[in-house]
Amino acid sequence: MSRFKATISSIAAAVLLAGGIGMLTVNASAITFKESNSQELKRKMPEGEGVLLSYYDAVKDAKKSVVNIFTQKIVKQNQQMNPQNRLERSLGSGVIVSEDGYIITNNHVIANADTVMVVLADGKKEYKAKVVGSDPKTDIAVIKIEVKNLTPIAFTDSAKVKEGDVVFAIGNPFGVGETITQGIVSALNKNGMGINEYENFIQTDASINPGNSGGALIDSRGGLIGINTAIISPTGQNNGIGFAIPANMAKKIAKTLIEKGKVERGFIGVSMRDLDTQSRKFYGRDGGTIVMDVIKDSPADKSGLKRGDLIISANGKEIINSSELKNIVGILEPGTQVGLSILRDKKTLELTLKIEKQDSKTLANGQIEPLEGMSVGAITDEIRKKYGIPSSVKGVIITSVKDGSLALRLGFIEGDIIIQIENKEIASIEDARAVGSIEGKRVFVNRRGTIYMMIASEN
């Protein structure tokens, strides 16, 4: 990410009108989403004479479920002589998921808006929408319009999507109205992009531009496989690298927002790191996540999980890396039991733990990744004992540095204590979170009592 920027696909322009937006009061009632045909899929090209290759049947129903979203926001300007308010308008897209008006979109499409307006695919009428709930950590939001007999999208099991599958992006790029673009699934399970806190993106080369955010990514049957959310581009325009939030994740978050109005995240109490070349050889596996630390009295601690354990599956799902386990835990509700398969001393063990509610206290003990390839965590009593850190030393400790990463090339090593970034002293995880990425900044570290200054840039 050091040479490109992740662009959230929305676009803003000045307008002359504004209104008010309210939070919708949610009834604790269940919602059921429409599902596409779940039979075993066969992937092949059309055969025979007189066959015209067309995707009309794939998109004709799905496009009825995609809406244009227009938001308005009042921006207060502090001008001494002539104070006035400026009105901004942003564009986005959304996907209808129920006949009575529930719509999934991106959080960044509707965040901080004063008014949210929805235009259906036929373009005949605008409807004022209310926000049901939003989840910034996955960039999913749900809004609702008071309209009946709408056409909901059919969800596809996004876990069955394959690289090379033909896909279509439907949305409202640049405000030109409903537009369909075509491409393939370029990659799966993309994470570490720095776009959302919880990432498991489907990557596609279908053209996605500003205004497509919140729109549908569908397969060749017309089933929803993802919610378009961002692109990577040096210019901010389509460059053939687009990302969509998988439909399974979007559905889970949307269901929770509709039924409860908010998402409460799970917490198990471990810091983790991915396998590198050396650890792959040691554990004899290509996938999994290594437990680097266990917070005292956390669910992980109570279950018997220990530092050095390799977590290889959760609830029967194989774990490829740390992000995958984080995503699994992050969408489970507190109180849910999780079965973990771990590798310890060359033996496979089964553990069960109960997820607890994630709060500010538990977050303070979590890890963050301020630079590509680097994870940092809080300095606990156990960490002080392990590294021989005096009680007078404050900061955050680098818990892992990936082989071949930018962090490693810049000279950061495991055990370094970040004590200052630019002119801000760092005493806690909260301080480090407030700074965000350290790329391009001066970073002061305490390495076994000696202070070093590093510039977090290869340029």
Catalytic residues: 108, 139, 213
Cα angle value 80/82/87 (rounded, 5°): 110
Residue type, 393: V
Q: Determine phi and psi for 319, rounding to 5 degrees.
A: -100, 120
**456 Cβ contact list (under 8 Å, min separation 6):** 371, 410, 438, 439, 440, 441, 442, 443
Burial environment of residue 257 by CB neighbours within 10 A (0 to 12, 13 to 18, 19 or more):
buried
**421 Cβ contact list (under 8 Å, min separation 6):** 432, 435, 438, 441, 442, 443, 444
SS (H, E, C) 31-94: CCCCECCCCCCCCCCCCCCCCCCCCHHHHCCHHHHEEEEEEEEEEEECCCCCCEEEEEEEEEEE
Residue type, 46: P
Which tokens hold the place of 390? 């005096």
DSSP 251: H
DSSP 173: G
- Residue written as tokens 């919880």? 198
Q: Determine phi and psi for 386, rounding to 5 degrees.
A: -65, -45
Tell me the β-bridge partners of 175: none
Which tokens hold the place of 116? 């949210």
Alpha-carbon distance 225 to 59, whole Å? Answer: 13
CB distance 105 to 214 below 8 Å: yes
Alpha-carbon distance 9 to 241, whole Å? Answer: 12
Q: What sign for the dihedral angle of Cα 218, 224, 227, 232?
A: negative
DSSP 184: E
Distances (CA, A) of 386 to 273, 304, 389, 397, 401: 17, 20, 8, 12, 17
Rg of the chain in Å (alpha carbons): 24
